[in-house]
Structure 1
Amino acid sequence: MPLEKPTADRIAPRLAAIFANAAVGLCELDAQGRFLLVNEALCTLLGRTSDVLRTLSVVDVTHPDDLAPSRRMLAAIADDGQTRSLEKRYRRVDGSVVWARSTVTLLEGADGGPGTFLVVTIDLSEQRQAERAREESDRRSNTLIEGIARSTWEADSAGLVVQDSPSWRAQTGQAFEEWIGDGWLDAVHPDDREYARRQWHDALAARRMVNAEFRVRRSTGGYDWMNVRAAPVVDDNGEVRKWVVMDIDISARKSAEAALRASELRLKTLVSGLPQLVWRAVDSGHWTWASPQWQAFTGQTPPRSVGFGWLDAVHPEDREASLGRWVQAQEQGVLEIEHRLRDPHSGRYRWFQSRALPVRRDDGAIVEWLGASTDVDDLRSLHERQALLVAELQHRTRNLLGLVSVISDKTLQGSHDFDDYRARFRDRLGALARVQGLLSRFDEDAVVTLDRLIQEELAAHGIAGDAAHVEVSGPSDIVLRPESLQPLAMAVHELATNAVKYGANGNRGGRLAIHWHLAHASDGVRWLHIRWHESGVDLGAAGGGFSSSGQGRDLIERALPYQLRARTRYTLMPDGVLCEIALPATQVLRDADDAHGERSQ
């Protein structure tokens, strides 16, 4: 069936429906620009009803600044009949402005009369807002880049510079002809140039961003450190169209980093030279770093000491107290601990004093703790020894004062007059002083042998041990206990005093023989035997100096057995005196030297 031939009667209603319901604004203007027909979309766009618009002309709804272009466009269309478009602003009733694109076509008039204009108006509000947002974003980006970057420039897809960058040339002093292509590399420091070239070419090949740091020449001379960042710009097909680059001046940061490295190097050198074990910590004893001294002493590697690994080096009995001090340190603002740390080389623990202070921010918050552990083991030992020495000094002083009192009383009882008392008392005090001198050597970690005690006492009385009439013999390495020195020295003093005044050393022809040795008794106990024998003495001429009583004999026969469990015998012979003293080795000899003394017999 053939298609029905369209007629004006059939088309007109349809065109009218399209006109009325179109989504864009449609209107017909007469030759003077007055509205003849308007659709609903245009009414909505301009904010007016169709009745109102048909009383107005296009001049009444156009922004004043856009009137002239609108009139020129209508005149041109009326003249040549060519369709034209114009982006312009329309004024709404509420005073607001709306951007729109109006496309105008000339319609022929009936019977050759004046033509009218068909206007298609499209709302550009959203497009304009997007453009303004993009422009604002571009402005912000440019402002941000200008605030950050020293210079910006572009390169083509091959990475070659093809257009000018005044900021780059101002920075480097290069002329345009010098820096196009890859001439910008000439402005890079010679030591960094190969690195910069490699970074750039690797990025081009991989089509990835560049983020490199190198030195770029300054137009005024010298070089500045730059962080050079470049990114590819790709099209819809993923092809690189160009590269955009910005250079950020990081000279200040580099100087700060260099200063920090120098400072850390100085600190490391200082810390390495300290005798203390230095460390850093956070969060109640959580270590973050330990110095080489800590590793050298404890044997802990840095990974083992961080966190709470350092506790492994602390004596098990001190660990709980050490952690408790860290809890207190948060409140007190200072850490002080005395604990024992193990030395793996010797296998023993040494006492250390650990002290730390907090590093605080301006607001007072603790950032970290800096601490050091100082070896105080020797100091503690000295304090303990000092306490023992003070106690020993007090003990000795009390004993010495008591002994002086006894000597004074005994001397007074055996003296004929005051002069005799003074002489005897002075001699005995001298002997006592010599004993104290020997005791002081023990305090200096020296030793005193029986041989030395006897020789010094004989010398104090003017008796030469190597004289023809004097014989002194016995092992030279019998080391005496300090508590045995005083009674033995006083006994030898009394014997020597009598020998000088009345005995072998006070008479012509007299002889003195002193001998000592070590021997075991039948019960296996070792004894030190001392034999003092004076002979060739005329007892009658001695004037009664040798007697059956007196302080010397009292000391030998009573004091030595009481103080040293000695066995003594004091015998007056026809031509002199024989004194025999036997002392248990456990009372008079140093334990460590007993065996050595026994072998020397």
Structure 2
Amino acid sequence: MDQRDAPPDPDPAGPRPPSWLDGQVDAGPATGDIEARYRLVTESWAQAVWETDAAGVVVNDSPTWRAYTGQTLDEFLGYGWLNAVHADDRAHAERQWRDATQARTLVDAEFRLRAPGGGWRWTNVRAAPLFDAAGEIQKWVGINIDIDARKRAEDALRESEERQAFLLELSDVLRPLSDAADIERTAAALLGRKLGATRVFYATIDPGGTTWSVIHDYADGVPSNAGRYPLTGFQEARLAQWRSGRMSSVSDSLTDPGLNDDERAAYAVFGARAAIGVPLVANGRFAALLVVNQREPRAWSANDLALTRETAERTWSAIERARAEAALRDRERLLRGVLDGMDEGFGIIGPDFTVLEYNREALRMDGRPRDAIVGLTHWAAFPGTEHSAVGHMLKTAMATREPAVLDHCYTWSGGRSLWLETRVYPTDDGAIAVFWRDITDRKRAADALHDSEKRYRALFTSMDEAYAVVDVLKDDAGRWVDFRFVDANPAFLTHTGMPWPVGRTATDLLGAPNPRWTALYGQALDSGEPLRIEEAEPSLGRVFDLNIFALDPDRHRVAVLFTDITARKRAEERLTTSEERLRSAVEVAKIGLWDWDMRTDTISWSDEHFRMSGFAVGEVTPTYEAWAASIHPDDRAATEAALVTARDTHTEYVREFRCLYPDGTVRWHAARGRFFYDAAGVPIRMIGAQRDTTERREAADHQQILLAELQHRVRNILAVIRSIISRSNDGERSTEEYVQHLQGRISALARTQVLLTRRAGASVDLEDMIRDELLAQVAIDEQFSLSGPDVELSPKAAEVLTLAIHELATNATKYGAFSRIGGHVVVDWAIEARDDSRWLILQWTERGVPIVDAAPRRHGFGSALITRRIPYELKGDGQISFRPGGLHSRIEFPLQPGDSILQTNGVVR
């Protein structure tokens, strides 16, 4: 508030309250009290305070208005203030003001004001007339409250809601469309009408990457630009921006300093002065571009850009869906062609064993029409199979979801029979796929097995994997106990390091068979299912990757194909140990790590990073937006700007900022990271770490508070000592008496300081504490009187109240009752029950002091201690006022336990 706006002192010659007690003293007449409250409210709430004459015309200066708007005094006076109002709001503002001044009513209006540095800010203008005793307006008093942030937030919310409504409409319109071209045309038209754009189109980047093609576009008042165009007209930087998936925008192609002549010419071809480009990068390739054109220059808003980007993403998603569905239909047609072109029979059997599909070859082998098989259960279509080996295989495969194979002979009702190799494979939808191969000729060609055995032996001896055939042995109780090697290839010796094993048992070779291996061989025989497993052989010090399958169940013979993977497993164990060691170190150090792949825009966070951001591990998907949203709004812009600077200048990113957790908690974090670039200097990756520095910052802040309090105490102690020395020499004592008297006062003062600094953790007697402090100030008890019940104060309450009494006593020594003959201090206290708590009510009353002499010259530590720290630290209330005869203070708070801040094992708060 301007000094000329302040109300005059109702009694300039009388005593004025001290500044350190400002707002706490009875200022006299009601008008003065109103003015004081008005000044307190406006100075702490409003950005500008001003006055006009009774007619509503500005005739006085207001420095706050000039500072808020940048107007000069001459520009402000009269109705010149209207020139600071936005042109679109000026008529409304003037009408509101003139109507209010004529109707003598309050003003409450909102409009935009010019800011000193340029631009406009929303303000709330509130004004009221001040009337004299006769009811006539003396003047108008008004304030300006800045509401720019609120208005911008409301605008952003409205834009977000409109954008979401548009995107919902877009999704509804695109959902039934199945043709990619229809989707492009529809989305372009919707977006063009929404933005009021001249043209919107989707351009497909040709495979060579040098040209782009426009098939369809939305055009409003301009010709269509369908055709093929070269990409060479754009700078490599712009192409790199699109290839990396980052959108672009141009407000005016003729003046944009980032464009060259070729690019301006390219924009001119499309008749565009302003444009937005949103690229689609699929599988690392720049595949398409959504373009919005404006024939005239246009400053694109953040909402325009966001709406365009989200429209592009949803449209591309719909196009991909349409293409996927079309591809599915094509694949289904292709599958039908493939199935019918197969040289073996194929069918699908549903979970209820209904035949769902039968291909052409299967129908040929069967000899019946399709409707005689498809739609019936397998048991009805093929009588007699439900309880046969085929039926058992089908039921087992359906139940276990394991593939199976069976050679069998099936005879039709007419007597025709075929040997069939039937293979069964469970499908993801709960059905099973069945393949039939006619092996009748194979069965008749048993003599050819001899040649096949030769080929097998050649493969057996030349393969790199170890291979062995063993007979698994049982004891008399029928348990698998040992195995004998029947055959082995040369690679067996390399992978095991064992001697030639054929004809020998595991007991012969190893001293005792490995019971685990014996059990696995027996399991393969019992189940008839192949096994794939990794198993260690301690006696050999090796680990093997095993494939075990039953070779001849009747002879208890199995085959095993295996590889020595010892080196690989040890490397995996070392890697696992190293990763665990690193993870433990990071978690112990409370460091959150991130790894940002900028090419795919994927980010990974360590578990600690989730926790440091206020989330459970895995609660959110790590993204740049999620990280930015966790930053305190006041720090977000600077933190992101520092990240961009580090990226663009190829320097290390170092930043400390606040994080706002979802539950409202605010924590300080220190982050450090480094970008990595490709050969062209484009950032491709960023790795970094951050840690919580809240406790360090709080400790530093607390240290500053303690230092300030220590400095204050030292200053007060020195002031008191000076006062004691000066008042102890009354000219009537001898030197020896003077020294003794001075020593007594200083000793009392020392006892008080010991109480303040050495009694952490112990309760304090209220009366002893007050008496020690007062004796330290006056050295005689004739100048004060104490009364009240016995009260033991907690360490916390004692520290705060001791400081309060110390400040009141110091003030009395400097200015009040202890500073003059005849002055007296009365301290009384009582205990009062409130809400199941015991409250201490303590009053300090000074007598015999003219108010003018007792007033300190500034708003000091004492006032803040009583009026602000007592409510904060002790959850009570502290008041100070001046009355006839001297200062009066009332202190009240609940008596509750509380640790001393000097307690070495306590928590500093």
Same fold flag (TM > 0.5): no
Q: TM-score, normalised by structure 1?
A: 0.44
The structure having more radius of gyration, on CA atoms, is 1
Q: TM-score, normalised by structure 2?
A: 0.31
